[in-house]
């Protein structure tokens, strides 16, 4: 039975609190260990199911036709694979930068699958939704599971973890970092030794992509060089976004208030449970 109510759904960003590359496989993919944590900065999808069978997405974004958006692709795939005759009208509030390493597109796709699973009363499990979402992006299953996780292998082996829910300042350099180019870079660190979860959680954290990204993208280097004067600062994923860790929200806000005009940034808090999971727990 269709749940014909309009709901505003969060699609949170994520940070890679560390990222280590353990080697490259014969198929070209890289073995890695990385820690994903959500933050309370989100895109929002307002979804209303309809009986017409059509999926609509608004507003349009420059350089990204609606039919190429992962939100539309996720909705259409779910509709086709479950043979649903109903549709949905989706409105997006875009707060997360595209291509910044915060996982905005993957999160939007995951929220779409979780939300329509609810609205269309499909009763699919998270495991089923994750298997579906994987075809849209490697990070989509993490956003569907909705719990801070250590990802291993090529990112498919997930273990729930509970890192400190710190306060962050996230900076958005005005450039787009190509993930495939980073992984092709000959100077990329590819031989970090695999470690146990206990070892990983107790050590000082790094990102193996950081040196070559800083070297190839001066705007990323400039942001990091400014922020590291105030607090520990790392790259998230393959970038371009970088983040600094603070003991309190007030300290993060002071640095944001004093940041130079060329630096686009925001403050946020780490959360180990996705806001989508929190919302779903109040609906079911």
CA distance 117 to 9: 13
- Residue 20 phi, psi dihedral angles, 5° rounding: -120, 135
CA dihedral 232, 142, 9, 271 (to 10 degrees): -30
CA distance 158 to 141: 9
Residue from 43, 108, 139, 208 carrying the catalytic annotation? 139
Identify whether 40 is a catalytic site residue.
no
- Residue 68 phi, psi dihedral angles, 5° rounding: -95, -10
Strands 30-50 and 149-152: antiparallel
Q: Across the strands, what pairs with 171?
A: 242, 265
Task: Classify 62 in phi/psi space as left (phi over 0), alpha (psi -120 to 50) or beta.
Answer: beta
In the chain, beta strands by DSSP E: 7-24, 30-50, 55-58, 87-93, 149-152, 157-160, 167-171, 233-235, 242-246, 265-271
Q: Are 281 and 150 in contact (CB under 8 A)?
A: no
Identify whether 139 is a catalytic site residue.
yes
DSSP SS3 for 89: strand
CA distance 60 to 182: 30
As annotated, the active-site residues are: 14, 139
């Amino acid at each position: 039975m269709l749940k014909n109510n309009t709901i505003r759904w969060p699609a949170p960003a994520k940070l890679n609190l560390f990222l280590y590359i353990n080697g490259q496989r014969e198929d070209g993919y890289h073995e890695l260990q990385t820690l994903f944590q959500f933050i309370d900065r989100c895109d929002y999808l307002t979804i209303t199911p309809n009986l017409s069978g059509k999926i609509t997405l608004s507003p349009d974004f420059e350089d990204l036709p609606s039919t190429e958006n992962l939100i539309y692709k996720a909705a259409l795939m779910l509709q086709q694979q479950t043979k649903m005759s109903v549709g949905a009208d989706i409105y997006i509030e875009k707060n997360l930068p595209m291509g910044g390493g915060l996982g905005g597109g993957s999160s939007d796709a995951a929220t779409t699958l979780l939300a329509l699973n609810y609205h269309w009363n499909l009763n699919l499990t998270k495991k089923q939704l994750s298997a579906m979402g994987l075809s849209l992006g490697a990070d989509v299953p993490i956003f569907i599971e909705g719990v801070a996780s250590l990802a291993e292998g090529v990112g498919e082996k997930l273990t729930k973890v509970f890192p400190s829910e710190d306060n962050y300042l996230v900076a958005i350099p005005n450039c787009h970092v190509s993930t495939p180019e980073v992984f092709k870079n000959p100077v990329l660190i590819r031989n970090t030794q695999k470690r146990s979860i206990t070892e990983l959680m107790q050590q000082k954290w790094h990102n193996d992509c950081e040196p070559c990204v800083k070297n190839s993208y001066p705007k990323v280097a400039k942001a990091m060089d400014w922020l590291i004067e105030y607090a520990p600062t790392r790259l998230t994923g393959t970038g371009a976004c970088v983040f600094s860790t603070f003991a309190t929200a007030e300290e993060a806000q002071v640095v944001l208030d004093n940041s130079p005009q060329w630096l686009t940034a925001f403050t946020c808090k780490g959360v180990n449970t996705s806001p989508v999971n929190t919302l779903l727990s109040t609906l079911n």
